[in-house]
């Protein structure tokens, strides 16, 4: 690959062993804040385990694990203000939980229930549902940011995507309009090294994904996405700049997808156990735990109490999810068109007849 270096900042405060490698930012002196971030990362990881278990036992359809990337979502969710708008992709459980989306709603979504995207939380009320078509959300975020700018509101649209998504035209078009109109939008790229089975190495000839912002006329930078202090620190600056009308920013968070792409994938078919083993050594939770323990802010007893507390919260959410009566079949057709197109009327009737037969106990 031709190497055309563009000198962009890369920020890391804690190394993989939880050792401080450069002077910590002033805000990181707040030990209780770091403990809150830690607790939220653990909650996210336990949520992930539960979601995968629900899929494996046939109770939800699919799930995209956040395993190994908890620091990115927890930093975003902790820093966004309620009035900002999240335009997420499918690997954003951590952010959604902090926006106040309930665990039950998240289970409903992955269980194929439309009500899982109708968030009750006031902070999430204007957030977008998870976007599955790759990179299209980046353009939606620019639309939201344009509205903020036109109305003179000091709000930021935050959109997330993966490394693979940065190759899509939608992503590059979004960067272009964000730069041309100096929109209050923040692009967070979760570079987890894999786009299903395509490795970052062959995803793009660009030495960094952050430098794609340069071509659109605004700044990009890289952070160690496994170091929550680094992600939080740089995000805070970018959010504040955007809020003050100083334009868009791209933050490339370098991480690793420790799990399968989704529950429908088997990553052992295309990557080595050795690579994954190495990546585990750099994961985000253990490193912050070590740092907190060194500071006397966290111990084994607190860890056990936290796990028990999270498990209880999760069980309550699973019960709530399982007790929710299924939606009517017609919900799959709602919220698609303002007026149902005549050309699809026949299909709707066919579905209605089929549902009526099934309700009457007839099987095909």
Task: Compare residues 96 and 192 and give the one whose CB is closer to ligand TPP.
Answer: 192
Residues that bind Mg ion (CB under 5 A): 162-163, 192, 195
Q: Does 237 bind ligand TPP (CB under 6 A)?
A: no
Whole-angstrom CA distances from 85 to 25, 77, 80, 128, 176 are 26, 11, 8, 8, 20
Choose which of 221, 257, 265, 310 interacts with ligand TPP (CB under 6 A). 257
d(CA 228, CA 207): 23
Closest of 2, 12, 1, 7 to residue 287, by C-alpha: 12
Please, are residues 191 and 163 in contact by the beta-carbon 8 Å criterion? yes
Per-residue burial over 199-210, b if 16 or more Cβ lie within 10 Å, else e, is: ebeebbebebbb
Q: Closest separation between CB of residue 192 and ligand TPP, Å?
A: 5
Is residue 189 near ligand TPP by the rule CB under 6 A?
Answer: no
CA 229 to the chain's CA centroid: 17
Q: Which of 48, 70, 92, 163 binds ligand TPP (CB under 6 A)?
A: 163
Give the residue with the Cβ less far from ligand TPP, 104 or 257: 257
Site for ligand TPP in 210-229 (CB under 6 A): none
Quick one: CA torsion of 93, 94, 98, 104, rounded to 10 degrees? Answer: 30
Q: Which is nearer to ligand TPP, 199 or 320 (CB)?
A: 199
The distance of closest approach from Cβ of residue 233 to Mg ion in the complex, given in angstroms and rounded to an integer, is 23
With tokens 């095909």, the residue in question is: 364
261 binds ligand TPP (CB under 6 A): yes
* Residue 257 a catalytic site member: yes
Count of Cβ atoms closer than 10 Å to residue 293 Cβ: 15
SS3 220: strand
Is residue 290 part of the annotated active site? The answer reads no
Nearest to 194 by CA among 112, 276, 128, 132: 276
Residue 24 binds ligand TPP (CB under 6 A): no
Smallest gap, in angstroms, from Cβ of residue 301 to Mg ion?
37
Rule CB under 6 A: choose which of 41, 106, 165, 285 binds ligand TPP.
Answer: 165
Bridge partners (DSSP) listed for residue 89: 131
Min dist CB 142 to Mg ion, Å, is 21
* Binds 12: which of Mg ion, ligand TPP, none (CB < 5-8 Å by kind): none
Catalytic site includes residue 291: no
When binding is defined by CB under 6 A, the residue of 45, 91, 155, 241 that contacts ligand TPP is: 91
Which of 270, 335, 348, 357 is an active site residue? 270
Supply 109's token pair: 């979504």
Of 72, 80, 156, the residue nearest 121 (C-alpha): 80
What six digits make up the tokens of 173? 């078009």
For ligand TPP, give the closer residue by CB, 75 or 318: 75
Give the DSSP per-residue string, 298-314.
Answer: --HHHHHHHHHHHHHHH
Q: Which of 78, 137, 159, 190 binds ligand TPP (CB under 6 A)?
A: 190
The least distance separating ligand TPP from the CB of residue 84, rounded to whole angstroms, comes to 22
| Catalytically annotated residues | 257, 261, 270
Catalog residues that contact ligand TPP under the rule CB under 6 A: 91, 132-134, 161-165, 190, 192, 194-196, 257, 261
């Amino acid at each position: 690959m031709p190497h055309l270096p563009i000198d962009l900042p890369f920020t890391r405060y804690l190394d993989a062993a939880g050792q401080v490698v450069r002077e910590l930012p002033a805000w990181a002196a707040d030990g209780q804040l770091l403990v809150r971030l830690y607790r939220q990362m653990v909650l996210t990881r336990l949520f992930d385990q539960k979601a995968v278990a629900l899929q494996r036992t046939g109770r939800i359809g699919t799930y995209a694990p956040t395993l190994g990337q908890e620091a990115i979502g927890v930093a975003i969710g902790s820093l966004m203000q309620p009035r900002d708008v999240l335009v997420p992709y499918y690997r954003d459980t951590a952010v959604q939980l902090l926006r106040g989306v309930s665990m039950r709603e998240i289970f409903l979504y992955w269980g194929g229930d439309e009500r899982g995207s109708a968030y009750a939380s006031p902070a999430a009320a204007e957030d977008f549902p998870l976007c599955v078509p790759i990179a299209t959300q980046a353009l939606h975020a620019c639309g939201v940011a344009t509205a903020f700018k036109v109305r003179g509101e000091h709000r930021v649209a935050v959109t997330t995507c993966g490394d693979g998504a940065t190759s899509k035209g939608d992503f590059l078009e979004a960067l272009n309009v964000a730069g041309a109109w100096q929109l209050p939008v923040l692009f967070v790229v979760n570079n987890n090294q894999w786009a299903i089975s395509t490795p970052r190495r062959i995803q793009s000839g660009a030495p960094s994904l952050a430098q794609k912002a340069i071509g659109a006329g605004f700044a990009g930078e890289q952070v160690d996405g496994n170091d929550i202090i680094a992600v939080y620190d740089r995000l805070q600056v970018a959010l504040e700049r955007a809020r003050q009308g100083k334009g868009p920013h791209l933050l490339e968070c370098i991480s690793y997808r420790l799990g399968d792409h989704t529950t429908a994938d088997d990553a052992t078919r295309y990557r080595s156990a050795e690579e994954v083993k190495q990546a585990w050594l750099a994961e985000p939770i253990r490193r912050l735990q070590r740092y907190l323990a060194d500071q006397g802010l966290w111990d084994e007893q607190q860890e056990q109490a936290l796990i028990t507390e999270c498990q209880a919260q999760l069980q309550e959410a699973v019960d709530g999810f399982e007790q929710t009566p299924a939606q009517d079949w017609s919900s799959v057709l709602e919220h698609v068109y303002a007026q149902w197109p005549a050309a699809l009327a026949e299909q709707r009737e066919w579905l209605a007849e089929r549902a009526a037969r099934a309700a009457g106990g007839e099987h095909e």
